[in-house]
A and B are shown apart, each in its own frame.
Chain A
Amino acid sequence: MKFSADPNIVDFVKKEIYADGLEYTPLRENRVAIKVKPEELDKLAELFMKKFEARLIHATAVDLEVQGFEVLNIYDFSKVKERLVVILKAKVDKDNPSFPSVAKVTWQATWAEREIKELLGLNPVGIPDPRHQFLPHEWPNAVESGLTGGQYKFESGSQTKEMYLPLKMPIEESYQSLIPIGPYHPGVIEGQIVYVKVEGEQVVAADIKTGFHHRGIMKLIERRGYNKGVFVAERVCGICSAAHGLTYVTCAENLYDAEVPDRAMYIRTLLVELNRMHSHLLWVGVVADVIGWKTGFMLTWGLRERVMDIIEAITGNRVNYGIWRMGGVSRDVSQELAAKARRTVDALKEECGKLLTLVAEHPVVKSRLIGVGPLTKAQAFDGGAVGPVARASNWKIDVRADNPPHAMYDPKVISWEVITDDNCDTYGRTLVRVKELLVSCGIVSQCLDYLAKTTGEVRIKPKTVPAGAEAVGLNEAPRGELAYYMRASEKDSNLPHAIRIRTPSYRNNAIIPLMLVGSNLADVPVVMGSTDQCLACTDRVEIIDEKTGSRKSLTWDMLVNLSRRLSKQ
């Protein structure tokens, strides 16, 4: 299958959306790059988001070496025109690397701009929350570089350590009512700190600090090139590895004039939907465990093993499939295997139907989840929620329908629907996920039917990537919209100049504090779990050129004293 684009897309953008750009470049699949002046970024954000209800996908920046930096704001206009994505590019000088912050218009850009500030050293003027987020507190510092054989020393004296000051509280106030949860906490397996300020049992303010899982993945892909990069991309997250693989190849295929065989498209859809099934079953199990419904945990994890069996039979692996290639997939699914898997899926669909009834009617589930972690549609739009969290707030967005990846989601061939729910709470998020399980079962059966009847090639050799090409790849991961941005190098056709990854948890984690306010302290793990947090995804991240000026707020010694005082009480 070839991927088409509207030839008059630039005229459309000029006429309908914005006419005063400096330069318009059409990219593949209805994506348009517009060069603008940096001063216009915040005004354009206001125009796009208020007038067109466009969604900000990501704000990021690219280092162009001697030419300066380029700030990129990527907007999704798929509600205005099919598959339209607008990339605003503004060139910023290296001597004075500042640009107007988009976060002051819409706070959902805050994390993204904190990332730009921290990793590239640019200065977003007027950002409401300029705290440090992803890098180690002490970076760069020889003590932590591993050269000392891991002998970690706390230095005293003049070199104090920066610490993270939650909620911008004065220190005296913060230790009276603040409960830090994490970095290791039984509720969520991965490391993060959630600070909740409580009055009695009620949460009155909350803040989240992630970034412990920062592994420098984007820099690794930039070094290793397109073909090896797909394996690194898969290991951004072990749970939604198929979604990362598909988005990576979608983005890389948009760099050149790609063609993908139909059979490969079906195999891709099959794997991504199986991946979604196991991820949602896992999530239901984890939340069941958190609310004390151990039977639910055992039940869903038992079902999940059956999905894993199909995945293992198809790819040979359970976690990282290693099947994604530019221009197709590396392994075919035989007709016998497809027919056999089809029978398993049928049985699974029946079980999932029972699970839906069980979850929707179970008294423990209802009493622990209804009304917990409320998020209205307006809040979801403002905070930039994605995936099941947005859909449970009755906001119908799904990348598979609006802006499909290079896999088979054509409604003419495969019948499926976007699930929404109007409960706007954790119960709604549970229902959305369990119903999506059934939809995924349907998609998987249709793909297996196709694969059982036909044969064909599964890979077409990729062409050379043209110098300086740009592309955006989007996909609906189990947790929500996943976005990749790639720019090809001018010098080497095997290496990307820059790659940026915006994961769904990146957005949904940022709105957790919003959902926590007003809830009970005992419900905090449930609310944290309700977004299906994946911190391995959130804290992947990019490159650094120079040390940035992160704010020194609370010194390490002060924090140690603080904890000692608290433990004495």
Chain B
Amino acid sequence: MLKILKYSFYDLMRSRWSYVYFVFYLLLGFVLLFLNNNVSKAVITLMNVIIILTPLIGTIFGVMYYYNSKEFTGLLLAQPIKRSTIFLGQYFGVALSLSMSLVVGLGIPFIAYGIFMSDAIWDFGLLLVTGAFLTFIFTALSFNIALRNENRIKGFGYAILLWLFMAVIYDGIFLMSLMIFEDYPLDTFSLSATMFNPIDLSRVLILLKLDISALMGYTGAIFQKFFGTNFGMFLSIGVLALWVLIPVWFIRRVARRKDF
């Protein structure tokens, strides 16, 4: 698997889009830091960007990479290599190179600004970790979509819909249901509803760490109350890990039975 991963990674690291993505984070980091002059504020702003953008880019890149390398995958499938090896290798190649763009792109400006001397180092680290998690999750989901859809347009459509649902619609429904069922105890509901959406979960995770969750509404407050910061964080990271593992398991399963 490492060989396939290595080559997918090299292939992507050389494509124009990886650079665009990298340069985007680089510029974003510099602009935020030098306009804000405050690491903590920059981290919060970055959180809002990362939580929406990494899933979107992960989704689009995942689908795009899968469809673009389809014939090449055919060539690999005819080699003496296990199927799951090929697809997991490609998946990790995409997810890793995207995470690299994120981590290095944001890392450089923050190191230049002196993040290592600042108290915000852990907040910043957590931000990168959740960003990487979101990349891995949404790339895996998009690979699943692409594997199940021969038609590229459909595959793209479903992938974008998935992102839209997780990033926007889910929250809308969530808030609406909180309003409608105002009179009932909603703690468990809102907790589990947050667990089922990796984007919300990441947001809560970062807010818990930044210790401003009380300001940020209902879910954050409940998380704070129920778990205390440490336990909540471990649980959230555990759930995020599940969000990676389950789709990856599905990639293996679908890849094993698919016709090419």
The judgment on whether A and B are partners is: no
Chain B residues in contact with chain A, CB under 8 A? Answer: none
Chain A residues in contact with chain B, CB under 8 A? Answer: none
